[in-house]
Structure 1
Amino acid sequence: MAGLENEPMVLCLLLLITISFGLSFICTVAELQRFEHPTKSHGTLSFLVIGDWGRKGEFNQSEVALQMGRIGKRLDIDFTVSTGDNFYDNGLEGENDPAFEESFTKIYTAKSLQKRWYSVLGNHDYRGDAEAQLSPLLRKVDSRWICLRSFLVNAEIAELFFVDTTPFVEEYFTEKEHTYDWRGVTPQKTYTAEVLKEIESALRQSTAKWKIVVGHHAIRSVGHHGDTQELIQRLLPILKAYNVDFYMNGHDHCLEHISDNESPIQFLTSGAGSKAWRGDVKELNREDVKFFYDGQGFMSVQLTQTESVIVFYDVFGTVLHRLTTFKQLHSAI
C-alpha cells in the first residue's frame, strides 16, 4: 500500500490539471479562427467585395469579373471578400463538383484577383453540400479559396469579422420548398448563441483602427429581401456596442449604402456579382438610404490609419457612389 499517503495530493494535482485543460478548451471554443493578413509596407489596405456571383459566368458574372480585375490592378488589392451565395442555385454537390472551377477558378482569372478570397456561406450555399465549401481540399484545387462559417481576418489597421448569418434566419428551418444542409449548426439556438459569443469576444479584444463585420444577410436593406429582423435583434446591438464601422453583406442582388440613425455604423450591400435587376425596391426616399443601385457590380475598400474610401462600381466599371470616412490619429502620450 506504499504511496497511498500521497493519494490526496495526487488527486488534487489531477483535479487542477483537469480544470486547467477544461478552461483551456472553453477558451479555444470561444475564439474565432484567425487569419493574419498584414497591410502593405506603407500602412494601407485595399480589397474588393463581391456577393451572389457563382453562375458559371452567366448573368454578366464574367463581365463583372473583368472589371474587378481592372480595378483590382489599379488599387493593388490585398484580397477579395465574398459575401456569400457563392454557387447557384443550390451550392456545391460535393468537393469534386466542377461548378467550383466553372464559377470561380475559370471566371476570376485576372492577375490582380490571384490573392486570397475570404468567403462566407449564403443561404443558397446551404442548399447544397455546405461542408464541401468549407473543405481544405478546395484549396488544393484553387489556393485562393478560404471559406469558413465564422472567422476573423487580422489586417493590422483593420479587422474583418466574418459571421455565418444563414442559421439565424428562422424561415429557413420551417420552409418546405428547399432542403438545407444543417450539419454542424444544430441545435440552432445553441449554435447561433455561440456565434454571437465568439463575435462579441473578438470585437471586445480588437484594437484595430477599423472594425468591419461581413455576413451574407443584410441588417438594413431596401432591396428585394429587406431587413433581416433576427440580425437586427441579435447582432446589431453587439456591432453598436463595440463601435463597428461597416457591416458588409450580400443576399439582395443590388448595391446599396444605408446609414444608421443611432450610431456611426454604415450598412453596405454588395450582392450584385451576377443576376440582378429584380425591380422591386422599398422606401428609396428614406433619409438613411444614401445610395441604391438595382443592377450588377461590386465594391472596393481602401483604408489608411485615418481614412476609408469605399466605392461602388457597375458592370462596366463606372463609379456609381463613393463613401469617404475620416478618423483622428491618436498619438501615444
Structure 2
Amino acid sequence: MASPLSLLHLAVLLCIYLVLPVFAELPRIQHQPKHDGSLNFLVIGDWGRKGLHNQSLVATQMGRMGDKLNIDFVVSTGDNFYDSGIKGVNDPLFLQSFSNIYTAKGLNKQWYTVLGNHDYRGNALAQLSPVLRKIDKRWFCERSFILNAGIVEFFFIDTTPFINNYFHDCNQHYDWRGVFPRQSYLKKLQKDLEEALAKSTSKWKIVVGHHAIRSIGHHGDSPELVKHLIPILKGNNVDMYLNGHDHCLQHIASKDSPLVYITSGAGSKAWRGDVKEDHSDVVKFFYDGQGFMSAQVTNSDANFAFYNVFGESIHHWNLTKSTMHSSV
C-alpha cells in the first residue's frame, strides 16, 4: 500500500500534468490536393445544435455543394457543440449534432476543426481525443495545428485563451486544462505561428481561428487578436483569416494589406439583429443569417462564395495571386 507521502507526490505530479501546456511545435498534417493541384473546401462554424435553428437545412445545402464541387474537406471554425461542448468522448451530443446531421455523401470528407469558447465550457480535451476519430473517421480537432494541402497551407489557431473576458467570467466554467500558465501558452503559440508562417513556401496562406479579428457583427472585433495576431499575419503575407464566433457571414478587406477577414459562423442559430459601426477596414459584405462558405483554389486564383439556407449564392469574390487584388 502506498504511503500518504507517495500519494501526495503523485497528486502533485498529476496536477502539474493537467495544468501545464505541452510545449511542442505545432502538429503538422498533410492532405493531398486534387491531381491538378487544385483544392475545394467548405467552411462552417457555430453549428452543433442537434439539427435545430436551421442546422439541418444548412447541412443539406452543404451536402449538395460538397457533391457539386467534389470538395476535399470541410473546415470548422469552432463552437462545435452547444451550449457547453461535450461532457466526454461518449457524450451522445457528438452523434446528435455532428455524425447524424452531416450525412450527405458530399460531406463524407475529413473535417478539420478548432475549439470555440462554447467548446471550452465542456470537456475540451474530449474533442481532441482520438476516440472521437474512431467513432467518426471524419473528425479531426486539435487546439492548434498546421494543415499542408499543397498550394494552400492552413494554420489553425486556438484563439479562446487570448480573450481576457473568459478568465473573469464567474458565471461559466471553462476547461483550461493544458492552457495554464496562460501567458506562457500564448507566447509560445504566437512564436510557433510566426515561425511556421515565415517558413511556409505554400502559394496561399490561410489562418483559421474561432474568434473574429475584424467584425461588425454582434461580438465585433477581438482587441486581443487585433493586438497580437494582426502584426504576425500581415508581416508574413497571410492571404486570409477565417473565423466563426459571430453568427453571420461577412467579408472584410484590409486597407493596407492583401489580408482579408472572413467570418463563416452561421451554421445554426443566427439573426442577432445588431450591427456595429464600421472601422478602418472595408466591409465588402455582411449577412446576419444562416449559411456557409465554399472555396475553390488553384495556383493563381481563389474563388469564394457564401450560401444561405436555400443554397443560393448570396456573395462571391475572387483573389488573384499574381496581383493580389480582390473583386466582388
TM norm structure 1 = 0.89
Give 1:233's aligned residue.
227
Number of residues paired by the alignment? 302
Which of 268, 279, 291 is 1:274 aligned to?
268
Match of 1:35 among 17, 29, 53: 29
Instruction: Quote the sequence identity (%).
Output: 62
Match of 1:211 in 2: 205
Name the counterpart of 1:118. Answer: 112
The 3 A distance-change label for structure 1 pair 225 and 40 is same
So what's the TM-score if we normalise by structure 2?
Answer: 0.90
Flag the 1:136–1:170 CA change in 2: closer, same or farther, 3 A: same
Q: Which residue of 2 aligns with 1:301?
A: 295
Shift of residue 30 of structure 1?
A: 4.6
Q: Secondary structure at the match of 1:248?
A: strand
Deviation at 1:87, TM superposition (A): 0.1
Q: From 136, 147, 152, give the equivalent of 2:146.
A: 152
Q: Which runs of 5+ in 1 are unaligned?
A: 1-27
Conservation of the 8 A alpha-carbon contact between 2:255 and 2:280 = no
Q: Which runs of 5+ in 2 are unaligned?
A: 1-21, 324-328
Please say if residues 95 and 133 of structure 1, whose CA atoms lie closer than 8 Å, have aligned partners that are also in contact: yes
Assess if the C-alpha contact under 8 Å between 1:53 and 1:275 holds in 2. yes
CA contact 2:255–2:281 (8 Å) conserved in 1: no
After superposition, what is the alpha-carbon deviation per residue over 1:65-120, rounded to whole angstroms, capped at 9, x for unaligned?
00000001111100000000000000001110000000000000011111110000
Aligned residue in 1 for 2:94 = 100
Correspondence for 1:82: 76
Alignment partner for residue 243 of structure 1, among 234, 237, 246?
Answer: 237
Query: How far off its partner does 1:31 sit?
Result: 2.1
Q: Which amino acid aligns with 2:187?
A: A
Moved over 3 A (4+): 284-287
Structural mapping, 1:1-333, within 5 Å: 29-283=23-277, 288-328=282-322
- 1:35 is displaced (CA, Å) by 1.1
In 1: Cα distance, 2:171 partner to 2:285 partner: 33
Is the CA contact (8 Å cut-off) linking 2:44 and 2:77 kept in structure 1?
yes
Structure 1 residues 318 and 76 mapped into 2: Cα distance closer, same or farther (>3 Å)? same
The amino acid of 2:209's aligned partner reads: G
Structure having the higher Rg: 1
Alpha-carbon separation, structure 1, partners of 2:125 and 2:84: 13
Instruction: Name the CA shift for 1:263/1:286 in 2 (closer, same or farther; >3 Å).
Output: closer
Give the letter for the 1:141 counterpart.
Answer: I
